[in-house]
Amino acid sequence: MENKLTEKVLLDTDIGSDIDDAACLAYLLANPACELLGITTVTGEAVKRAQMASVLCKLAGKVIPIYPGAEVPVLIQQKQPFAPQAEALGKWPHQSSFPLGQAVAFLRDVIRSNPGEVTLLAIGPLTNIGLLFRIDPEIPRLLKRLVMMCGVFTNHLAGVGPLEWNAIGDPHATAIVYQSSASVHRSIGLDVTCQVKMPAENVRQRFKNGLLRPVLDFAEVWFRGIDTITFHDPLAATTVFDEQICSFERGWVEVELLSQRTTGMTHWSPDEKGCHEAALAVDSERFFKHYFSFL
């Protein structure tokens, strides 16, 4: 049974690198059950990423606060300095200027103004979220839930290694986030998200209308290197609104920081008393039906 109640959502995204962030934002804007309170961007060229987010917000006819966030990780060198899909910005009207240096403060203010009501959806490296949790340690307990596309937890899918891009993009921020005592930590890992894919030819057929039109323009940049969309971030978002798309298990997560080769690796320990929920399986058919019902 799908959740019909309106959800207050804050989105933290690295839109502009992998195409799934834009596909996720389109879904959130199209879903009438989503009250999108704001968007923060993270990693290199954060302003260009904010501009890309504004394309979709403008097309949706919604005024959503957008704040460019941290462009560099807490300690390590940036692995993602550019937003290549911003190349397509010229095709769409977009906001040009944004408040700078205020992303973490914005997240803090919104969460404190809505205690127990906000779902924080993190679909990029966790720099902004790690800084937020370190600056104000009470914030995790003031959230309704924290939902992340992050990590690897079962590693049963052929071709999926132990490392996931968001987790290793800023491993120290990842560790801060997983060490926090949020009311609910929910992680949808690479091992599960890799089960929801669509080849480029199908994307071009299905992304012709509405909010998916600019996503297709961004996707054409992505398709120069990879001819498939994997719906990592949209899958994480849909679990906020339909509890039956993924199955979850409770446990604990530790983040590897000592080994240079595996820094950012997530170590999963099942425990019904744990405060983390990790996705273990996905109903792919249910996901696609739900996603395209709004788009």
- The sign of the CA dihedral 66, 67, 70, 71 is positive
189: closest CA among 122, 117, 278?
Answer: 278
Q: Is 0.95 surpassed by the pTM of this model?
A: yes
CATH of 7-294, one of 3.40.190.10, 3.30.9.10, 3.40.50.2020, 3.90.245.10: 3.90.245.10
Using DSSP's 3-state secondary structure scheme, residue 126 falls into: coil
Residue 28 · residue 65 · CB < 8 Å: no
The Cα–Cα gap between 149 and 235 comes to 8
Residue 60 · residue 29 · CB < 8 Å: yes
The Cα–Cα gap between 248 and 66 comes to 31
Burial of 169 (0-12, 13-18, 19+ CB in 10 A): buried
Tally the C-alpha atoms within 13 A of residue 217's C-alpha that lie toward its C-beta.
15
Q: Which two tokens stand for residue 230?
A: 């994997």
**Where in the chain are the domains?**
7-294
**CA separation (Å) from 192 to 97, 227, 266, 274?**
37, 20, 14, 20
115-165: per-residue pLDDT in tens? 999 999 999 999 999 999 999 999 999 999 999 999 999 876 767 889 999
Q: How many residues does the chain have?
A: 295
Start-to-end CA distance of the chain, whole Å, equals 20
67-99: per-residue pLDDT in tens? 999 999 999 999 999 999 999 999 999 999 999
Residue 69 · residue 42 · CB < 8 Å: yes
The Cα–Cα gap between 179 and 37 comes to 26
**CA separation (Å) from 13 to 128, 257, 267?**
10, 23, 24
The 3-state DSSP composition of the chain as helix, strand, coil percent (nearest 5) reads 40, 20, 40
Query: What tens-digit pLDDT sequence spans the chain (295 residues)?
Result: 344 579 999 999 999 999 999 999 999 999 999 999 999 999 999 999 999 999 999 999 999 999 999 999 999 999 999 999 999 999 999 999 999 999 999 999 999 999 999 999 999 999 999 999 999 999 999 999 999 999 999 876 767 889 999 999 999 999 999 999 767 799 999 999 999 999 999 999 999 999 999 999 999 999 999 999 999 999 999 999 999 999 999 999 999 999 989 999 999 999 999 989 999 999 999 999 999 999 9
Rounded to 5°, angle at Cα 39 from 35 and 42? 150
According to DSSP, the residues that pair with 68 across neighbouring strands are 41
